[in-house]
Structure 1
């Protein structure tokens, strides 16, 4: 391999991109990082690859500890001269892994996640093309300083905004209100805006990971699950509320009781949009919930709000300061 090519470290964690048919039916993770790299035509002419298999799991079974181990591996690769890092994993939790790693990533070198919506042996398997595009993105100078990125279907997404918007389509990933970061054109990412501001990385966890629950609000729901979660040791509650941050009268009463003891965050269950803060004043609306001690999640989805709160509490932020810390993070990570 030409020594003049940039170094890209590629790690595989499992997922559909690595899956082939099993004798018992269905596809399961089998391919390692080296095999994945070999499946992408022309990839060896773009970068000198260091391929390593770190896990062989469906993405729903990845843990916070798995991702911290991945983070340590990625940092070591940067120390050893890698120009960029590419991780392959399952798409079910890809947006969560990207956001979680972005909270801690402290290097200008891009950390790029990718995967596949079709198994490796399927007609039109998208894994090789996605891996190639991820490496092309990792070596591009315009990717520097953007933190963690997700590359799928020749589209580059920021970890802050990316979401899996379809369960099966190869065009499953969207960046919603924030907009996509770039599209790949003839093997080069064309970015639509310069790198945005980034808050300081969150300190590494000091102890065990806290339990933080996501509780959906829905028609006829009084919030009983939120109380059950608090009674069973959950350190914080994320409410995926209706509309711009609204719950029922009964749910509002429960939130008042919970917010006196643990941080409660209100996000919207809608596919896009922000929570409000000063539009609706009825019982159970955002103004009422704020008066009761809840914090509004703004543009954060429920699953990303949960990850941010988990990281902050694990880093030792006191419960009474978690809401302020989330607000400050959101202001600094506007794009």
Structure 2
């Protein structure tokens, strides 16, 4: 008997079609059932239950939609699914996958995938990616790995994967640690043993979407204007701030002053905007360096990218106000390999 797999569709390029003769101006229109029906050989791998959860372009996804998707995926597993596949747009896929991963507490695989080319395009990659994702969802070796991203026959951990190209079908990469597996001739092969960081608990009765955690990227000549504006505007509607800093998480001396004042009021996390490598701990000592920011009460994101550091801080804030010690402990646990 073929193992049952639940497929939830959120929209994106993988589900987008065009009414134009040249195939431009695509928008999400295809249902989950039509996506699954278009994949050759899928019925030979799994018994699929496909459901359309949303038909949104990737930039319009938000945390409440992802949290509802999480609840749907958990219910699908509790109802007997051997694994779950989520299809969505690629622009926010690395973020959705990581937010799901933070709360995914089941041993069954939850696999996220999408496409860079629409179904009407020559060489559409959606069917192949969906087939790989389902193969991953039914593979015994995929259990106890948290949320995975399947793209271009590669399997990535949600914590490390990022979209690194705006157009290529090989857009997703795990810059430092690489993919953890591949799908070769229909077989899912992993190069590392199972294992994951314990999942966070969703607070009972908490309305997903309450926290507000801005992400501020620094730049040449940054004088801290944006952080000063946040301070001046009042912090009653902000639950924390993540800063995408230079190099190992550095900011200018003037911005460091604003970081210190902000960190006295709410959690501030600094991450590296480079796309690879961790924040520093003890190398530089000038104003705005990692040593200086830590001394001012900010927390380093470790190996997490700025967008994923923001999601972790958002997830922590979902449980209510969090102190500096709790934030530091969670980033120490989840921001390292």
The number of residue pairs the alignment matches comes to: 330
Aligned to 1:298: 302
Among 6, 9, 12, the alignment partner of 1:12 is: 9
Aligned to 2:226: 225
Aligned to 1:114: 113
* Aligned-residue CA RMSD (Å): 1.6
Q: Residue 269 in 1 paired to residue 266 in 2?
A: no
Return the TM-score normalized by structure 2: 0.94
Aligned positions of 1:114-263 closer than 5 A? 114-204=113-203, 206-207=206-207, 208-230=209-231, 231-232=233-234, 233-263=237-267
- What does the per-residue CA deviation read over 1:122-144, in whole Å, with 9 as the maximum and x for residues that have no partner? 00000000000000110000000
Aligned positions of 1:72-111 closer than 5 A? 72-111=71-110
Tell me the distance in 2 between the aligned counterparts of 1:64 and 1:321.
25
Q: Residue 71 in 1 paired to residue 70 in 2?
A: yes
Deviates more, 1:231-240 or 1:91-100: 231-240
Task: Quote the offset at 1:226 in angstroms.
Answer: 1.7
Determine if contact 1:11/1:33 at 8 Å carries over to the other structure: yes
Tell me the distance in 1 between the aligned counterparts of 2:87 and 2:95.
13
Instruction: Return 5+ residue gaps in structure 1 as ranges.
Output: none
- Aligned with 2:214: secondary structure? strand
Task: Quote the offset at 1:210 in angstroms.
Answer: 1.2
Determine if contact 2:109/2:144 at 8 Å carries over to the other structure: yes
- What does the per-residue CA deviation read over 1:171-214, in whole Å, with 9 as the maximum and x for residues that have no partner? 00001112211011111121010012322323337245211111
Return the TM-score normalized by structure 1: 0.95
Determine if contact 2:267/2:324 at 8 Å carries over to the other structure: yes
Determine if contact 2:160/2:175 at 8 Å carries over to the other structure: yes
- What does the per-residue CA deviation read over 1:196-252, in whole Å, with 9 as the maximum and x for residues that have no partner? 232232333724521111111111011111222343532211110001111111001
Task: Quote the offset at 1:328 in angstroms.
Answer: 4.3
Among 326, 331, 335, the alignment partner of 1:327 is: 331
- Aligned with 1:245: secondary structure? coil
Tell me the distance in 2 between the aligned counterparts of 1:282 and 1:244.
13
Determine if contact 2:255/2:288 at 8 Å carries over to the other structure: yes
Tell me the distance in 2 between the aligned counterparts of 1:239 and 1:256.
12
Aligned to 1:278: 282
Task: Quote the offset at 1:317 in angstroms.
Answer: 4.5
Tell me the distance in 2 between the aligned counterparts of 1:280 and 1:303.
24
Tell me the distance in 1 between the aligned counterparts of 2:178 and 2:203.
29
- Aligned with 2:250: secondary structure? coil
Tell me the distance in 1 between the aligned counterparts of 2:52 and 2:113.
14
Determine if contact 1:199/1:329 at 8 Å carries over to the other structure: no
Determine if contact 2:302/2:332 at 8 Å carries over to the other structure: no
Pair 291,29 (structure 1): closer, same or farther in 2 beyond 3 Å: same
Task: Quote the offset at 1:23 in angstroms.
Answer: 4.8
